[in-house]
Structure 1
């Protein structure tokens, strides 16, 4: 996956009673046995449940198309479309399907074009990506010029991924998860949305 950046069962605990001693008076007399104490209870902690494993996201399934694509332009719509565009990134790299990516890409969008070139080059070489799912943590839009120009800020995490050849061998691997902040510029041309540019920056985790 090309990165977005340019650039226990519980242990059983048993308490055993101390050995009982017979005490005899020093001056003689009938020995008296000390009454045995009640054995301590056996304590068995409940096993700790294993963490529930989260199923891996299948990046070969196309992301859900947002309703905002068919609605009048708005800041919220811009945020939803920018997030959707980022979700298309691993899908395109895994399947080679660039139809929706191209439909949203403005002719002057450098980031958009670079992804198209990368995906087409891999497809030509019989390669595809595995993993790299994107999870959107936040998306907010701003109206720059009412009804035409908008910006959006998207924060996301991307899982580890790898580029595989036709035999399934790993060509290159990419560690993860990684966190990114993406500034996006969008335009509404009166009939459709277009992404004019996207600038992903990797965010260092504390």
Structure 2
């Protein structure tokens, strides 16, 4: 089984514009997307560590307090670097807080983390390092900042409680378009498109 970090569709600017004109206060919408399938997913799965090693969450960047392009970049990088943390710990609170309601990538990764926690599986490796490559101008209608981000992910393995390997993948480098927006004073991820390089 190959872990797909994202095979997702971009945000529909036209749809967002219609909702904003209609006075919708919800998160900016994204178009439907193809998502990885997780088996035995339970949205109510409680967080539980998948490894005995101490796992530390990435530090929230101070730049996320900025409501401009610097904040957008920091939010996009921070969100992607949370991925292996949620897989290893089942602690998805920050991930969920930053996930837009129509973000298919966000939902798919959340479901995978919940599946691992529910089954008592172990996620090892997969450390993710991200850096912003380019931030585009904010869309005047939707308020969305598109940010191109490069991620480097270490090899990873998922094993069950008996130590049997369930899935694994090699190290990958990917370029993603992360679309972020402000909701009140917080950043949310509206959508992610991932283009795996190797």
Per the normalisation by structure 2, the TM-score is 0.69
Q: How far apart in 2 are the matches of 1:103 and 1:131? A: 25
Q: 1:5 Cα shift?
A: 3.5
CA drift of 1:132 comes to 0.6
Structure 1 position 196, deviation (Å): 0.4
Aligned to 2:124: 130
Tell me if the contact between 1:74 and 1:143 (Cα under 8 Å) persists in the aligned partners.
Answer: no
2:143 aligned residue (119, 128, 148): 148
Aligned counterparts of 2:56 and 2:66: Cα–Cα separation in 1: 27
Question: 2:78 corresponds to which residue?
Answer: 84
Deviation at 1:145, TM superposition (A): 3.2
1:112 counterpart = 2:106: yes
Report the counterpart of residue 191 of structure 1 in structure 2: 185
Contact persistence 1:142–1:150 (CA under 8 A): yes
Indicate the RMSD between aligned Cα atoms, in angstroms: 2.2
The equivalent residue for 2:27 is none
Unaligned runs of 5+ in 2: 8-35, 37-52
Q: Secondary structure at the match of 2:150?
A: strand
Which of 157, 162, 165 in structure 2 is aligned with 1:162? Answer: 157
User: How far, CA to CA, are the matches of 1:59 and 1:113 in structure 2?
Assistant: 25
Tell me which residue corresponds to 2:3. 2
Alignment partners' CA distance in 2, 1:159 and 1:85: 17
User: Post-superposition shift, 1:59?
Assistant: 8.6
**Counterparts of 1:162 and 1:123 in 2: how far apart (Å)?**
15
Q: Which protein, 1 or 2, shows the higher relative CO under an 8 Å CA cutoff with sep ≥ 6?
A: 2
Distance 1:158 1:188 in 2: 27
* Match 2:166 to one of 144, 156, 171: 171
Deviation (angstroms), 1:137: 4.4
Q: Secondary structure at the match of 2:184?
A: coil
SS at match of 1:143: coil
Q: TM-score, normalised by structure 1?
A: 0.67
Whose helix proportion is higher, 1 or 2?
2
**Matches for 1:23-34 after TM superposition, within 5 Å:** none
